Amino acid sequence: MPVDTNSPVAEPVDETQRPTRRADTRRGAEADASRDKADASRGDGSAPQDKRRGSLFGSIKRHPVTAGTVLLVVLLVAAGAVLWWLNARNYEWTDDAFIDARTVTVGAEIAGRITEVAVTDNQPVEAGAVLLRIDDSDYQASLKQAQASVAAAQAEITNVEAQTQAQNAKIDAAQKQVAQAQAALEFAKSEDQRNRELLARGTATQQQAQQAASTLRQDQAALDTATANAGAAKSQLAVLQAQGKSAEAKLQQERASEDQARTTLMRTTIVAPVAGRATNITVARGTYAQPGQVLMMFVPKDVWVKANFKETQLGLMRPGQPVDIAIDAYPERTFHGRVDSVQAGSGTAFSLLPAENATGNFVKVVQRVPVKIVFDKPPDAYLGPGMSVVPTVTVR
């Protein structure tokens, strides 16, 4: 067979030299490792860091798409965090909030048996609608008795007025009698004086003079009697006037009793003070009600949100700021309102047992301050006191 002279000819391997080459290779690797350790122990370790940087840049160069995607995600997350912070700083929210209202306690003002319960539990009613009726038979009788007393007092006043008119007539007659007696007395005085002069001149008899003097004395007595009668008539008029004032006072008293009886009768019918819902009804027909007894509760339609914000959230909060109201009962809806007012003090300051911080073991705790939030318009949903709310106030 021909032999290719151009192909390399494998040199024969000396088996005796193979272990020596392996030992040299190991010694070289150990020397390299020793140099690396020496370099790591010398200086600030810049050589390993450079190696890591080179490895990182090498990885980026080997995988540019993956590196770009990671960088883009990091930038988007950072931008989103910044945008979220810029947006979140404009709002203050709390989950310590609930629907509040001035619940009305409906109670009995008079004693009596319940004859009618006109509403049922949670029934919506308008202002002035009848809620309960109490037996009014006794109170009807009391009103009629008071009305009769008023009529009697009015009749007494009429009688006194008639007597007063009659007495005025008597006074007029007595005054006329006084005037008549006064005129008679003046004539008697003139007659007596004339008879005395005639008797002195001898032209009149002693009998005529005595008769004139007697007439004078009689007319004087008649005048005194008429004057006394006129005085008595006037005194009686004063008595009648006092009786008239007493009758007027009695009439006022009887009218007050009538008004009280009428008011008591009106209290036998209990009506709704405002529009709302009757709830927690505790009586039934036939129950005997006592004054002050709670018969039912009444929840008005006018409700608002009482939000207990932390005191650190109130720095920018002002009345009139818009509020988005999320109600747990209606998670798919958002209601709108505004800040009405901020309570002048924390919630614990007005509690039954306020905290006393003047002690040696004081621990500072962030306080909650109630904020009243009202709806922009009456919500078209059933809302009752105590329902959970999450209000978000726009403070910037």
Domain ranges of the chain: 93-102+301-394, 104-135+269-297, 137-260
Distance CA 276, CA 274 (A): 6
Classify strands 330-342 and 322-327 as parallel, antiparallel or unpaired: antiparallel
How many Å is the maximal CA-CA distance in the chain? 230
Distance CA 163, CA 125 (A): 57
Q: What confidence score (pLDDT) does residue 181 get?
A: 75
Distance CA 302, CA 149 (A): 45
CB 324 within 8 A of CB 334: yes
pTM for this entry: 0.60
Distance CA 186, CA 188 (A): 5
Domain 93-102+301-394 CATH class label: mainly beta
φ/ψ of residue 129, rounded to 5: -70, 145
Q: What confidence score (pLDDT) does residue 212 get?
A: 73
Could you tell me how many residues make up the chain? 396
Q: What confidence score (pLDDT) does residue 342 get?
A: 93
Helix-, strand-, coil-residue percentages of the chain, each rounded to 5: 50, 20, 30
Give the CA distances from residue 195 to residues 58, 165, 212, in Å, rounded to whole numbers and listed in that order.
169, 45, 7
Is the Cα torsion angle 200, 201, 206, 208 positive or negative in sign? negative
Residue given tokens 């002035």 in the structure block: 128
**Residues ≥6 apart with Cβ < 8 Å to 252:** none
Q: In this structure, what token pair is assigned to residue 324?
A: 């988005």
Q: What confidence score (pLDDT) does residue 164 get?
A: 81
CB 325 within 8 A of CB 97: no
Residue 188: CB atoms within 10 Å:
21
Q: What confidence score (pLDDT) does residue 6 get?
A: 43
Domain made up of 104-135+269-297: CATH architecture: Beta Barrel (2.40)
Q: Residue 322: beta bridge partners?
A: 338
Q: What confidence score (pLDDT) does residue 5 get?
A: 42
Distance CA 150, CA 24 (A): 139
CB 290 within 8 A of CB 359: no
The closest alpha carbon to 246, from 165, 156, 168, belongs to: 156
Q: How far apart are the first and last CA of the chain?
A: 100
**DSSP 8-state secondary structure symbol assigned to residue 103:** P
Q: What confidence score (pLDDT) does residue 146 get?
A: 92
CB 97 within 8 A of CB 389: yes
CB 136 within 8 A of CB 265: yes
Distance CA 56, CA 70 (A): 14
Residue 92: CB atoms within 10 Å:
24
Per-position pLDDT tens, the chain of length 396: 344 444 444 444 444 444 444 545 555 555 555 555 545 444 454 445 555 555 656 666 666 777 678 777 888 888 777 766 655 678 899 999 999 999 888 989 999 999 999 999 989 999 899 999 999 999 999 999 999 999 999 998 888 888 888 878 877 887 777 787 777 777 777 777 776 777 676 666 777 777 777 777 776 787 778 788 777 777 777 888 888 888 889 999 999 999 999 999 999 999 998 888 999 899 899 999 999 899 998 898 889 999 999 999 998 899 999 999 999 999 999 999 999 999 988 888 887 777 776 666 777 888 899 999 999 998 888 888 999 999 999 988
Q: In this structure, what token pair is assigned to residue 91?
A: 């709002």
Q: In this structure, what token pair is assigned to residue 69?
A: 């995607």
Domain 137-260 CATH class label: mainly alpha
**Angle made by CA atoms 167, 158, 251, in degrees to the nearest 5:** 125
